Chains A and B, each alone.
Chain A
Amino acid sequence: MGKMIEQQKLEETAKQLRRDIIAMLVEAGSGHPGGSLSAVEILTYLYFAEMQIDPQNPTWSDRDRFVLSKGHAAPVLYAALTERGFFPREELFTLRKIDSRLQGHPDMKKIPGVDMSTGSLGQGISAAVGMGLAGKLDQKAYRVFALLGDGEIEEGQVWEAAMAAAHYQLDNLIAFLDYNGLQIDGPVREVMSPEPIEDKFRAFGWHVERINGHSFTEIAAAVETAKRVEDKPSMIIADTVKGKGVSFMENQVGWHGNAPSREQAEKALVELT
């Protein structure tokens, strides 16, 4: 299968995305490395192996959509979009700076390829539900992908959206949960446990998959299965490592919302070569 051959290319792309995340964050001086790095394989797979999109025509009406409901992971989205050709790489280094199109959280009015403005947790998934309803109404074949954070699902709105997606049988909606286990104040299980998470989404009427979120093989298999599911939205719970790929950031809650210093960034980039 073509996708298996692509594996090595995807690994390289993922590494490039990680380098870009570190490089843009050190320039920005603030931002969210941990939850960006944990989602690299998911976005790499979606943007380079799955989604039908056209960087030359970012608002193509038949395109697949992606909603970054955990909007603070903007760096991984920007890295994916620039690598995919939606805007020039140099622009990455304007992240969070005055007059930049690259806002701290994604702004659909500014950046080509961003399908929804997000940042306030719990809101993106509702927009994804709306896009899914529109797709059904228009009898279009596009799919809507969304990425939620494990802390984000503490928001009640997520469960309102979960109920609605199942009620309207949105099998064109495939969401990922970036289950890296950490939120700002500590481990999610200590702050506000989401468990039993698979049971919760199943009880809400979703098809649920549980995978290693850093394995392209597992991501591919889960997405392929989800695409065949009828009359139900899919939630792919991806076990991930916060800060993945940078040894001193991995599983460290302190790297949720702090940019690396120049020295730390150099160290990280050495690890990512």
Chain B
Amino acid sequence: MEKIATRDAYGKALVKLGAKNKDIVVLDADLSKSTKTYEFYKEYPDRFFNMGIAEQNLMGTAAGLAAAGKIAFVSTFAIFATGRAFEQIRNSIAYPQLNVKIVASHAGLTVGGDGASHQAIVDLAVMRCLPNMTVLVPADAVETEKAVCAAAEYEGPVYIRLGRSKVPVLYTEEDAFVWGKASLLREGTDITLIACGIMVAESLRAAEELAEEGISARVLNMATLKPIDREAIVQAARETGAIVTAEEHSIIGGLGSAVAEVLVENEPVPMERVGVKDVFGESGEPDQLLKKYGLTAKDIKEAVYRVLRRREL
């Protein structure tokens, strides 16, 4: 299967958007070659602003550009965007509902060798809890490009989470990205795996292996984490009776929490969360980290066995 990093797809999407819409501006904080905003800079240098290593001012400047009518795409690593500049995002972007798209790369453990200081594992939690904020977590390069284009069309703040590593391409150009809707990647009747980002591919692998064992697993890609697709979750709970979530993020506050919130209020069924278990990561190769911190198809399958046992009790 072809593998492309979501950040590469972002760079391409920006260049396309830049040609279509003169109001699009891009800001970065000295990481443009890593976040791939450099691709935009090469084509439209006048509309690219490097703000230096100063993330608070990065977000505030993006807010000012948006207040003056621009569509501001602002990029840096997820850890700095959502950590260092959290309050700027809250007060200067989300509160006044300005048209700023925070597209953060190098999210999760798969940033790799940089280690825990650079591994954003609570970014979804802190972005999801902000009023007015939409949160997107594309699963592959195709979905990234479509999500970025959709974000440009949408009026208001959006957080898009991208990764550093190459990930399998799951979608074709013909597949639609539907804002606010889960995408059904595999039908199933015994359990539903709800995943986002790189864990979608792992969930599909887990589902294939489970099928060989006679367990029919539905797979939903929850690319729009907020507003979350309640209907798809409730329907999955009713039709399959058990849920496992999978995310490259803390099990606190991200996809697992969001799905649990919907379930307990609507259709409580046994569920398990696969994610980083409230610990910091460390340096290592992405695949080593995913294995050590329990973010593989094998971990998803084990969660499935646990949840199915609970259902049978």
Contacts and interface: CB of A to CB of B under 8 A. Distances in A.
Contacts of B49: 133, 168
A160 B68 contact: no
Nearest to B90: A120
A246 interface: no
Given A123-B88, A161-B57, A134 B96 contact: no
Interface of B: 25, 46-47, 49, 51-52, 54, 56-57, 59-70, 72, 87-88, 91-92, 95-97
Nearest to B64: A130
Given A108-B96, A157-B56, A164-B51, A129 B25 contact: no
Interface string A113-132: 00111011011111111111
Contact of B56 (A107, A122, A137): A122
B61 to A, nearest CB: 4
Interface centre among B47, B65, B66, B97 (most CB of A within 10 A): B65
A160 B52 CA distance: 9
Nearest to A59: B69
5 contacts: A61-B69, A131-B68, A134-B70, A160-B54, A168-B49
A131 B56 contact: no
A65 B97 CA distance: 18
A133 B48 CA distance: 11
Nearest to A134: B68
Nearest to B54: A160
Contact of A117 (B54, B69, B95): B95
Given A116-B96, A117-B92, A129 B64 contact: yes
Interface in A141-173: 156-157, 160-161, 163-164, 167-168
Contact of A161 (B61, B87, B95, B96): B61
A135 interface: yes
Given A128-B64, A130-B66, A164-B54, 11 more contacts: A116-B67, A120-B87, A120-B92, A126-B88, A127-B63, A132-B64, A134-B25, A137-B46, A138-B68, A157-B57, A161-B60
Contacts of A200: none
A127 B64 contact: yes
A109 interface: yes
Nearest to B46: A137
A122 to B, nearest CB: 7
Contacts of B97: 109
B69 A134 contact: yes
Please report whether the interface of chain A is mostly helix, strand, loop or mixed according to DSSP: helix
A156 B92 CA distance: 16
B91 A123 contact: yes
A99 to B, nearest CB: 18
9 smallest CB-CB distances across A and B, nearest first, come from A130-B64, A126-B60, A134-B68, A160-B57, A127-B64, A160-B54, A117-B96, A130-B61, A130-B65
Interface centre among A117, A127, A131, A137 (most CB of B within 10 A): A127
Contact of B67 (A115, A119, A138, A167): A115
A65 B63 CA distance: 14
Contact of A127 (B51, B52, B69, B92): B92
Contact of A116 (B56, B62, B64): B64
Contact of B65 (A122, A131, A160): A131
Contacts of B95: 107, 117
Contacts of A109: 96-97
A126 B96 contact: no
B91 A117 contact: yes
Contacts of B65: 130-131, 133-134
Given A109-B96, A120-B91, A133-B65, A127 B60 contact: yes
B113 to A, nearest CB: 28
Nearest to A132: B64
A168 B96 CA distance: 25
A167 B25 CA distance: 18
Interface centre among B60, B64, B91 (most CB of A within 10 A): B64
Given A109-B97, A137-B46, A130 B56 contact: no
A126 B61 contact: yes
Contacts of A124: 60
Given A108-B96, A133-B49, A123 B60 contact: yes
B69 A129 contact: no
Nearest to A130: B64
B64 A126 contact: yes
B67 A108 contact: yes
Contacts of B62: 130
Contact of B64 (A120, A133, A167): A133
Contacts of B61: 126-127, 129-130, 133, 161, 164
A96 B96 CA distance: 18
A84 to B, nearest CB: 20
Contacts of A168: 49
A217 B56 CA distance: 36
